[in-house]
Structure formats: structure tokens, C-alpha cells
Structure 1
């Protein structure tokens, strides 16, 4: 029987780009030998590291308010720092301003998985990237097949369940042409998960 593992704070980036066929998001495929979600297509992201707490970054006022509902100011800053770092490491893309990261979703990995994360999802627009959004030459090797894909096209990929939920939330917000009025939280600390609004 698998012993449950600690839940680590994590940050995920939903990079959004306008296109002729509609909005697109950046996704890549995890290695098939990866311990966590092998072979799945995911957004860039990963666990918060100790060094992410080393410096404080500027946050959007609304993002800070939403993160602070259940996170200290130090953790809020570290989460955005981790999001920017993971984006750089996994795609080679650089964010112009940390204020552009918008907190839109939170999810905790269910029990029984080899790794568990308390992941906060940040929406960032491609226009806020400092370098060429099609140049992944500086990316490390954690994700392969990095590509911009329409929201509809992404659904054809082998996706984790939570990624499908997040895509639906993004699409709903875009349809209303406004940010969501609350942050959905897929709280799966226990065996039976529940979705509630953070704020």
C-alpha cells in the first residue's frame, strides 16, 4: 500500500495567446518515464523551491488579495516567483513583469499519488513575454513537444483531469470577456474532493 506523501506548494502557468483560430495556450508533454503524470500534456509549472522565498516580487493587487485568502504574503510572492522560474526553465520564455500573473485556480492532488501538490494556476498573456513566444531553444528538457494549441485542440490531448477543468474555467472567463469573480479551489486533501470558491 502506498504511503501518502507530503503536499508541496506549486505554481502553474497558463500562457494565453490570441490567434486566427481563437485563443491558444502553451502546453508540453511530460516524459513517459516521469514519476508524476507520465506522458501527460500539461501547462508549464512545478513545485515552489526554497530559493523562491529569497526575494519579494511585485504582484497585481487583485492577485495578492486572492492569494492572501489562504497564503501568507511571503508564500504569495514565492508562488509567483516559482511560476516565472518554471516558465523560464521549461519553455525558455521570460515574463516582462510579475504583476501580469493573474491567479485564477487552485487544486490539490488527490491522495494516493506518488507526488502531491497544492498548485496555484496563473494566467499570463503572451504579449507580456519579453522574448519570442515561439522560441523554445532555451528550454530545459522536462517538457517535450512544446506548442501553442487552441482550447478545443488541447482537449484532444492526453490531459490530467484537473487540466481539463482549468481549460473549461479559462474558456468561460474568455467567453464573458472578464476575469472570473472568484477563484475555484479543487480541494482534494481528503479522499473525497470538493470544489469551492476561495474568494
Structure 2
């Protein structure tokens, strides 16, 4: 079941109980990013999902987009092209912590996670050198990460009362912007099965509630914006005064 605007805290807890371990957790969610890769355009596009290992403590057996926590070192990586300015402001968000550096780190973490979990290297075929261990395989493959084709499609802040909490930006890019696809998937081994599914079929898979919610959002956007133009308003989902609220930025 997808999450929707105006749901009560109890309704959200009930829906997400199968996705998140409920209990005392961090007060401040950690920054994270997800990359939604699309093969094709508009309503016929297929989406890349991967199944998490059933032995994982977090979302075992669920189909998810490649993604994970943002590392501070991600923001120090040189890029072939920066974020589009309108996308940068949406990714950074608002408040005193919202900076261009944060937006770049978040965007780069989405690209890194797509490589580590799915073996997809997004960027430009260029000479690339880095001393940061997590990015050395990009250098070895001759791929310099590029951010200009990333599009912000949504953001979700895990409600309080979870053992793990994330402030996740959902970014999208097209498969034709992937320079290298490793045939065996990503080196992390976190996803045991990778599939490309039409959006309607992806929505019927065993996906977390927030993933289903973002698939709904993406499907509606693609109907009017099949190329994912920059600067299009996109939703943020968060808990406010015991209600799960959606607003556009």
C-alpha cells in the first residue's frame, strides 16, 4: 500500500511495520540517496529494481531502487558536469544545512550506490583520477561521474519511531546515460536479483511502501513530462504534527 498525504502516524506505522523495525531510533535522519534508472521514456519506460538479500536485517527480500547513505567523501569527487541549478536547489532542500556541497554529495552518492549495488556506472567516458577508495573503480573503467542528467523526483524523511531513519532524495536518470553496465551486477552483493520492469509491474512487486509511493509519483510525472525536464516541482513526504504530509518544491 502506498503512503498518501494526510495519513495519521498510526496509519503510517501500520503500513511501514513490514518495511521498518519500529522502536526508539535516531532523532535526526541520515542523508541518503536513491537512483531510479529508466530504460525508455514516458509510460512505456522500464525501471531498474533489485531484490535485497533475505538475510538482511533491513528490508529483507524487498525489491528496491539502488541506493544508500551519503558519505561525506562523495562530495569531494570531481565531476564531468555539475547538477542543473534548478535540480541542485531541490536536492539540497531548505534550511541552514542546505548547501551546494550537500546537493553534490547526495547526487554523487546516488551514482556511487547504483554502481556498488547494480554495476551501473553513470557519467562520461573520460580519464578520471581519484584517491577516494569508493570511486577507484570508476577511474579504472574510465568513467567520470556526471550530474547534469540527474533529476529530482522526490524526497522522503522516515518518520520518528524507527530503528533506522533516513532523509532520502529520489533521483532519476536514463539508462542511455550509463557508460558501463557490469554483467554481474555491483560488487557490494546487496542486491541478489536485478530486474527491469514496466512501472505498473514494478508497483505489483514486493516493494516497500515508500518505493510504491515514489513509483506512483514518477508514473504521474512521466505522463506529462516523459523526458524529465529540469525544474519541475516534485514532492517531499514527511511527518508533521502527527500527520504524514506531501508538499511540492
Q: Same fold (TM over 0.5)?
A: yes
Instruction: Tell me if 1:171 matches 2:211.
Output: no
Equivalent in the alignment of 2:62: 40
Match of 2:83 among 59, 63, 73: 59
Partner SS state of residue 220, structure 2: helix
Number of positions where the alignment pairs a residue of Structure 1 with one of Structure 2 = 196
Measured in 2, the distance between the counterparts of 1:92 and 1:39 equals 19
Measured in 1, the distance between the counterparts of 2:240 and 2:163 equals 14
Give the 5 Å matches for 1:149-160.
149-160=197-208
Partner SS state of residue 83, structure 2: coil
Measured in 1, the distance between the counterparts of 2:105 and 2:240 equals 22
User: By how many angstroms is 1:192 displaced?
Assistant: 3.0
User: By how many angstroms is 1:47 displaced?
Assistant: 0.5
Match of 1:83 among 94, 110, 122: 110
- Select between 92-101 and 60-69 the one with higher mean Cα deviation: 60-69
TM-score normalised by length of structure 2: 0.72
Partner SS state of residue 94, structure 1: strand
Assess if the C-alpha contact under 8 Å between 2:122 and 2:178 holds in 1: yes
Match of 2:150 among 79, 101, 111: 101
Measured in 1, the distance between the counterparts of 2:242 and 2:23 equals 14
C-alpha RMSD of matched pairs (Å)? 2.2
Equivalent in the alignment of 1:162: 210
Equivalent in the alignment of 1:4: 25
Q: 1:138 to 1:41 in 2, by over 3 A?
A: closer
User: By how many angstroms is 1:143 displaced?
Assistant: 0.8
Partner SS state of residue 106, structure 1: strand
Assess if the C-alpha contact under 8 Å between 1:108 and 1:189 holds in 2: no
- Residues 16-63 of structure 1: CA deviation (Å, up to 9, x unaligned): 0028x9210000111223222222110000001121132364112221
Equivalent in the alignment of 1:92: 119
Q: 1:151 to 1:61 in 2, by over 3 A?
A: same
Measured in 2, the distance between the counterparts of 1:2 and 1:65 equals 33
User: By how many angstroms is 1:93 displaced?
Assistant: 0.8
User: By how many angstroms is 1:9 displaced?
Assistant: 0.2
Measured in 1, the distance between the counterparts of 2:53 and 2:186 equals 18
Match of 2:50 among 23, 28, 33: 28
Bigger relative contact order, structure 1 or 2 (CA pairs below 8 A, ≥6 apart): 2
User: By how many angstroms is 1:140 displaced?
Assistant: 2.3
Measured in 2, the distance between the counterparts of 1:64 and 1:75 equals 9
Measured in 1, the distance between the counterparts of 2:223 and 2:195 equals 23
Assess if the C-alpha contact under 8 Å between 1:92 and 1:140 holds in 2: no
Partner SS state of residue 114, structure 2: helix
